[in-house]
Structure 1
Amino acid sequence: MAGEPGGLWAGVAPLVASHLALVLVALAIAVAIGMPLAVALVRRPRLAASVVTVAGVIQTVPGLALLTLMVPVIAASHGLGVGVSSFGFAPATIALTLYALLPILRNAITGLRGVDPVAVEAARGMGMAPWQLLRLVELPLAAPVIAAGIRTASVWTVGTATLATPIGQPCLGNYIFAGLQTRNWSMLLIGVVCAAALALGLDAILAATERAVSRRPRGRLVGPAAAFAVLAAVVLGVLPRLPASSPEARPTAAAAPIAGRERVTRVRIGAKTFTEQYILAEVLRQRLAGRHLAAAVVESLGSNVVFDALRRGDLDIYVDYSGTLWTTQLGRDRGAPRWQILAEVEGHVAGEGVRSLGPLGFQNAYALAVRRDTATRLGLRSVADLARYAAGLALGADYEFLSRREWTAVRTTYGLGFRRTASFDPALLYEAAARGEVDVISAFSSDGRIAAYDLVVLDDPAAALPSYDAMILLGPRVAEDPEVVCALAPLRGALSVDLMRRANLQVDHDHATPQDAARSLIGAAAITETCGPGAR
């Protein structure tokens, strides 16, 4: 995506369309489930209380957790028995539908129970059948309360939908996550403003609908219905067709699968939720473009989500780290020699149908780092030294570290017990250390901010942490494609840790875009081409 505001605004259009489509589908399903369920439960108070309680419990689950949980649920059910992808739209829709159910169901039951008994008795006295009573009396009288529930659900759903980015669903969360990670505040602000505007727009339309049904003449519904139709037509019909200002202002969406061994012309690149991954995804995209291969980038994915998506064919390419795969996929809780980790990881992923093109030439290993003044004052050179003072220090870590096997290994190997631990977004972690909010952080060895903030990386003499060689992984669809291999194989061993640190610092400190940092990285790397010009 382009770094200038004009390019960002051009790139946001398809994300707004995708976001609204996700919200509308989830709301429609929630209404289709919630309304009949409310009708069935309204005269069964005990059962209704139990069902509403279950819906309320679902609301207590953090949004990101519920969205992520849908991925293994759908995968375990073999795509719900009909081959639905466990990545992207389907899990996001199911999670958002569950989130939207509570206000719709609760308001529908409350509205139906609140219908004036006199009106009901009068209708029965006129000889109305139960279904006529429901359609002509109870639902119209309960409509304002029901509309208020749908209105509440719509605002909740628009906000929660921004969290669908880590499971591969393009939405406004793409700008919010990427803007936060790369400290591109314009991108972040545009994502937030668009999400807020979408929520306010839907709320205004549904508020008008609520007022109209309260007054009951059907003609009053024409205005809100027309406004909703125009909004849907513009966002779903017009915005996706607007041209992006540049190839970099493209939507980060997955392309449709291509069956069999057809020639690959379009690939899907994955990226996790931190700066280096955005840069490396751009390196891959730009290299593929040199072989005339189009690429779509799906950003801000979780570690387990991205590998599962590659293995299943929902993604084609991404860069992972040998140590991450060692712990998450092989389940190892101790380090090993670097060569052994690489060999075992490559053997394991090959058994999953995934091809490794080998290490890129640098490691991005977990490490514990402290401010230089703290290291000098306490005489810290290694994690073993840190153990003596940990009880009086605070540890800051990224979202994953404290729940990963690496932390368990470090903690038990050195007997670490910190006074306090806190999780931070990786974009804010180093700043928290520099400002003294925490004393120790889980740093990344290829991060340029280690030098920028004058932090000291502590040695790991017991080798509790594994090595983390960056490596390109190819999914089953492209593993044997000669053009893809020709584009990416020359990157093997070509990127030094110094070059990667410099590229990371360009984005994190100098506020360059990942696209610009990737171009600089490719230009400075020692790349030896092994194939002739692209055939396409």
Structure 2
Amino acid sequence: MNEVLRQLPPLIASHLLLAAAAMVLALAIALPLALAAARRPTLARVTLGFAGITQTIPGLALLALFYPLLLGLSALVGGGIPALGFLPALLALTLYALLPILRTAIAGLRGIDPAVMQAADAIGMTPRQRLRLVEAPLAAPVAMAGIRTAAVWTIGTATLATTVGYPTLGNPIFAGLQIERWDLVLGGCVAAALLALAAEGALGLIERGMVRRDHRRIAAGLGLIVAGLLLALAPLARAPARSVTIGAKNFSEQYILARLIGLRLEQAGYQVRYREGLGSTVAFQALGRGDIDVYVDYAGTLWTGVMHRQDTAPRDVMLAGIEAWMAQRPKTALIGPLGFQNAYALAMRGGGGGVATIDALAARAGALTLGADLEFLDRPEWRALQRRYGLSFRAGRAYSPTFMYRALASGQVDVISAFSSDGRIAADRLTVLADTRGAIPRYDAILLVSPGHARDERMTRALRPLVNAIPVEAMRRANLMVDRDTNKATPEAAARWLDRAIRSRTARPS
């Protein structure tokens, strides 16, 4: 739990910064629109309709949509627009906050007694005076109800920004779900809930002050908000101005390898931070754009998903082809393979019910359910398996990797898309089905750096000792430490163990 408490302050700071910025931007958009829409019924229908449609889009999907939109916009203007991190999260949360603010502000303005408006006109008030002295004070208490709702929604939804590489309280929640660390999940959830309750309480104080014309309550509520922001954002003031950003996908091995890279870079004098939970294509595009500086990918992922190759090749040919392709187009750099591969592999419980090959599985697949990780069913490897073996399962279900293994153990699925470096294969005594037709390419783990660090000799010297230094047995053991051991280790602890194992192995005389 102490480790969880150490993680929270900077995450609370960045979470609050994002939520506050989204609320400020939403207010700047919604309040002028509400004022205009209150006087124009057609505009009100359009604005409320747009905001309502936005609310029907799941938060995760809305965040994902901004990534290609910002990539396209950046390409149109010649680059410079970040497609990951703060900006897409800010835009998505702003859109989410619009509806409650618009709806209550318009209702508040329309609910003012016409006699009051006529009296204001009768004493000669200008439109600006009427807005400042009559409309705004009378509509504000109603509008504040929507602002309070929007604030709570925004703080809660901001946890999803983790998926686009912005650090929030979603980091411990998503990581905890993946590695089954419920203290991380609980810490992130409780911290987000307390932030939302604090914001709602401060805004509620302002609202009651407006209703009762009590300026002291309004000042107290504003003071609490400002004090809370200053206190929560203090960790950001101490953060280093420049740091290396290490990317990671959304499973345990990636968390461990990211921390291993971080250890080596910190020892070389770099300040590091992490962007985790990235999808495969997003991670590589983020590397090419410099949104992340270094991460571990897999040869087969790049070969099929990014280079769009449908053939298979020997290890050396594949690695040389990837390195040459990267040097020509994205200008990223391949430092080298880490020494193990983490290939997709279809696996079944026990002895596989007499099934040992994917050929044999194909004859029975129509009566079986496939459990896959969140990407597999949309990946080229799955299409290649279908094409070469004619695989057609009764049903396919997607899970996060941890729950995929749980689903197999509980009998909810019959076959899973396992990972060859996962220690749970041996621990659960799973049978890995032989790919006799070579549909799945090699998945050597490879260390990649961004264009900005492709010629960074200091970084290369720090990371070069990891090349061909991690045997698959060591990676499986580190993964199992996080995924399944009784005394579950954190990714940081597993990375330190792996670092010691690498140093011990390289220190032995040959």
Given the two structures, how large is their TM-score scaled by the length of structure 2? 0.93
Partner of 2:170: 173
Residues 206, 219 of structure 2: 8 Å contact kept: no
Query: Are 1:87 and 2:87 matched, yes or no?
Result: no
Displacement of 1:50 in angstroms is: 2.0
Partner of 1:403: 378
Partner of 1:130: 127
Displacement of 1:500 in angstroms is: 0.8
Residues 73, 81 of structure 2: 8 Å contact kept: no
Partner of 1:355: 333
Question: Among 41, 44, 47, which residue is 1:51 paired with?
Answer: 47
1:60-459 alignment, distance < 5 Å? 60-78=56-74, 81=77, 83-237=80-234, 239-240=235-236, 256=241, 266-351=243-328, 352-372=330-350, 375-376=352-353, 379-459=354-434
Partner of 1:245: none
Taking the aligned partners of 1:118 and 1:333, their CA distance within structure 2 comes to: 74
Q: Given the superposition, is the C-alpha separation of residues 15 and 79 from structure 1 closer, same or farther in structure 2, using an over 3 Å criterion? A: farther
Letter in 2 for 1:359: P
Query: Are 1:488 and 2:446 matched, yes or no?
Result: no
Displacement of 1:398 in angstroms is: 1.3
Taking the aligned partners of 1:357 and 1:436, their CA distance within structure 2 comes to: 42
Q: For 1:273-331, what per-residue CA distance to the aligned partner results, in whole angstroms no more than 9, with x for missing partners?
A: 11001111122122223333332222222222222221122222111001111222112
Partner of 1:534: none
Aligned partner of residue 393 in structure 2, secondary structure: coil
Query: Are 1:32 and 2:7 matched, yes or no?
Result: no
Q: Given the superposition, is the C-alpha separation of residues 209 and 79 from structure 1 closer, same or farther in structure 2, using an over 3 Å criterion? A: farther
Taking the aligned partners of 1:118 and 1:277, their CA distance within structure 2 comes to: 65
1:447-526 alignment, distance < 5 Å? 447-510=422-485, 511-525=488-502
Taking the aligned partners of 2:114 and 2:94, their CA distance within structure 1 comes to: 32
Q: Given the superposition, is the C-alpha separation of residues 80 and 33 from structure 1 closer, same or farther in structure 2, using an over 3 Å criterion? A: farther
Letter in 2 for 1:6: N
Query: Aligned residues, how many?
Result: 502
Letter in 2 for 1:285: G
Residues 338, 466 of structure 1: 8 Å contact kept: no
Aligned partner of residue 149 in structure 2, secondary structure: helix
Q: Given the superposition, is the C-alpha separation of residues 188 and 107 from structure 1 closer, same or farther in structure 2, using an over 3 Å criterion? A: same
Query: Are 1:21 and 2:17 matched, yes or no?
Result: yes
Taking the aligned partners of 1:138 and 1:14, their CA distance within structure 2 comes to: 41
Displacement of 1:481 in angstroms is: 2.0
Displacement of 1:231 in angstroms is: 1.3
Q: For 1:150-169, what per-residue CA distance to the aligned partner results, in whole angstroms no more than 9, with x for missing partners?
A: 11111111111101112221
Letter in 1 for 2:112: V
Unaligned runs of 5+ in 2: none
Aligned partner of residue 177 in structure 1, secondary structure: helix
Residues 397, 441 of structure 1: 8 Å contact kept: yes
Letter in 1 for 2:90: T
Larger deviation, residues 362-371 vs 482-491: 482-491
Taking the aligned partners of 1:80 and 1:108, their CA distance within structure 2 comes to: 36
- Give the root-mean-square deviation of aligned CA atoms: 2.0
Taking the aligned partners of 2:214 and 2:494, their CA distance within structure 1 comes to: 60
Residues 74, 80 of structure 1: 8 Å contact kept: no
Q: For 1:452-511, what per-residue CA distance to the aligned partner results, in whole angstroms no more than 9, with x for missing partners?
A: 122111111122222111000011222222221122112211111111111100111121
Aligned partner of residue 355 in structure 2, secondary structure: coil
Displacement of 1:240 in angstroms is: 4.1
Larger deviation, residues 288-297 vs 20-29: 288-297
Displacement of 1:528 in angstroms is: 4.5
Letter in 1 for 2:183: S
Displacement of 1:144 in angstroms is: 1.7
Letter in 2 for 1:66: L
Aligned partner of residue 388 in structure 1, secondary structure: helix
Q: Given the superposition, is the C-alpha separation of residues 292 and 230 from structure 1 closer, same or farther in structure 2, using an over 3 Å criterion? A: closer
Partner of 1:7: 3
Taking the aligned partners of 2:311 and 2:161, their CA distance within structure 1 comes to: 33
Taking the aligned partners of 2:312 and 2:213, their CA distance within structure 1 comes to: 70
Letter in 1 for 2:18: L
Taking the aligned partners of 1:290 and 1:108, their CA distance within structure 2 comes to: 54
Taking the aligned partners of 1:481 and 1:415, their CA distance within structure 2 comes to: 47
Q: For 1:69-97, what per-residue CA distance to the aligned partner results, in whole angstroms no more than 9, with x for missing partners?
A: 22222222128958342221111111111
Taking the aligned partners of 2:410 and 2:64, their CA distance within structure 1 comes to: 33
Larger deviation, residues 270-279 vs 410-419: 410-419
